[in-house]
Homo-oligomer: A and B are copies of this chain.
Amino acid sequence: MTEAHEPLRSAWDTTKEDPGKWAQKRRLADAMRLVIERLVSSDAPEDELRRAADALERYGDALEAHPRLRFVHGYAESANAGDVSAFFDRSPMIGLANPLAPPITIAKTGERTAEARAVFSSAYEGPPGHVHGGFVAAAFDEVLGFVQSLSGRPGMTGTLIVRYRRPTPLHTELRFTAAYVRSEGRRLYTEARVHAGDVLCAEAEGVFVSIARERFEALEAERAAREAERAR
């Protein structure tokens, strides 16, 4: 059903510092993705689940001992960065080092266009054998966020509209095509589609609201204050 595509090379697939550490973090995230995929659909016995939970709880405690990443590691989504080659390993949709992410790979294909690909595992199931509609929407938000940033004055999502045409299959390479269409004052209009092979699964429109760099900086400051409060 799917055509063969060349793997997309992500614009930000770089490890700017300490590449060995990031390689292991991505490998660990990959391993967690595999465990999540197999765990959700597995009928593993109780004793083994208990031992695994014991081990993971110990690992969660061990992780607490390390310092937190400095925020210089970059934004967690492509929409806000204003730099399409920024470092997105932490993103819950595209981050190679975030086990929540399928991950989606996004690449610029023109001045105002991009293509993205993803394969969703069983762990993302909604209707039988198909991707949860919420994750289809989440993927569109990320892809539309990427193309709105090509406007050069990125913003945050104002309105997201998703029209579901056919159920979106699991375990199948999905191809998203997206474009930044036009602006109207601070509003940036975008659109996207997702296909599985030749089948159009869903379409989306996103209206983003361009915001000043100071507003992002204010969010960062608010974040730092919350972190400090949580650390107390």
Contact = CB atoms under 8 A, between A and B. Distances in A.
A46 B18 contact: yes
A13 interface: no
A50 interface: yes
Given A39-B99, A158-B163, A159-B161, A141 B133 contact: yes
Given A43-B67, A127-B216, A31 B57 contact: yes
A22 to B, nearest CB: 9
Interface in A42-87: 42-46, 48-50, 52-53, 55-57, 59-60, 62-64, 66-71, 75-77, 79-80
A178 interface: no
A187 interface: no
B35 A53 contact: no
A196 interface: no
A4 interface: no
A59 B35 contact: yes
Contacts of A90: 40-41, 125
A26 to B, nearest CB: 9
B140 A36 contact: no
Contacts of A167: 156, 219
A152 interface: no
A31 B55 CA distance: 9
Contact of A63 (B39, B63, B77, B157): B39
Contacts of A119: none
A93 B40 contact: no
A81 to B, nearest CB: 10
Those 7 A-B pairs whose CB atoms lie nearest each other, nearest first: A134-B138, A129-B223, A31-B56, A134-B141, A24-B49, A34-B60, A38-B63
